[in-house]
Amino acid sequence: MARDETYNIAICTDCYVGLPFNWIVKHMRDKHGLKCNEERVLNCLNITEPTMKAEEAKAWLKETQSVVHPISRIPVEDGYGCSLCFYSAKKKTVLYNHVSNVHRDAIKKGLIVERKVQKPFTSRLKQYIIVNSVDDDETQDIPHWRATLNEQFEETLNELTQSGYVASTDLRLVNTFIAKIR
Ligand SMILES: [Zn+2]
Ligand SMILES: [Zn+2]
């Protein structure tokens, strides 16, 4: 047993799979023939509060279709993603089904893209999420770059407001600017 600290997910180090806290005792008994209780699990993981539970995991999967840092000890696999939404899967055929069911009216070209994926949990929480690993350089640069742009934009806006001069061309520029920094 191990715990991913970023996401507070318990992981079976034999099966390389995430386990909602309330599934651990059953998993250990059924898959590994080990008897334990929740208290021992807490001790084993060296924590006092339970890790992510099934209901929390369900909600988490719903709002987290992609992660920047992969969940530790769970394999990152080559899979596929939909370019129109966050849907991802291991098999291309699953993506074809998704596209024809969900985006039937959209242009078909280029909808299925290769992605790195992870399957955090199994059984009824079986779902792939996208792993968007980025270089450290990039993750550091982007917020700074955006902050600078936002600052410049606010300055420009202040100047415009103070001078009381907002011509239509300037508004168009401002709109383009907003579009760019989004
Ligand atoms: Zn296991
Ligand atoms: Zn989609």
Report the pLDDT averaged over residues 70-96.
95
pLDDT of residue 141: 45
Ligand nearest to the CA of 98: 2
pLDDT of residue 90: 96
Q: CA torsion angle for 86, 91, 96, 102 (degrees, to 10)? A: -30
SS3 at position 134? coil
Using a CB cutoff of 5 Å, list residues around ligand 1, an ion.
12, 14-15, 31
Measured between alpha carbons, how far is 40 from 73 in angstroms, rounded to an integer? 21
SS3 at position 125? helix
Report the pLDDT averaged over residues 38-66.
96
pLDDT of residue 140: 44
Q: How far is the CA of 67 from the centre of ligand 2 (A)?
A: 17
Q: How far is the CA of 127 from the centre of ligand 1 (A)?
A: 18
Q: How many CB atoms lie within 10 A of CB 157?
A: 14
Q: How far is the CA of 70 from the centre of ligand 2 (A)?
A: 21
Measured between alpha carbons, how far is 87 from 66 in angstroms, rounded to an integer? 9
Looking at the predicted structure, is the pLDDT value of residue 51 above 70? Answer: yes
pLDDT of residue 133: 77
pLDDT (tens digit per residue) in 3-14: 999 999 999 999
pLDDT of residue 6: 96
Looking at the predicted structure, is the pLDDT value of residue 163 above 90? Answer: no
Q: How far is the CA of 99 from the centre of ligand 2 (A)?
A: 6
Q: How far is the CA of 33 from the centre of ligand 1 (A)?
A: 10
Q: How far is the CA of 20 from the centre of ligand 1 (A)?
A: 12
pLDDT (tens digit per residue) in 117-159: 999 999 999 999 999 976 444 444 445 545 555 666 566 656 6
**Cβ(153)–Cβ(177) below 8 Å:** yes
pLDDT (tens digit per residue) in 95-116: 999 998 999 887 666 789 999 9
Q: What share of the chain is helix, strand, coil (3-state, %, to 5)?
A: 45, 15, 35
* pTM of the predicted model over 0.85: no
In order, the DSSP letters of 49-116 are: S----HHHHHHHHHH-SEESSPPTTSPPEEEEEESSSS-EESSHHHHHHHHHHH-TTS--TT-EEEEE
Place of tokens 């893209």: 113
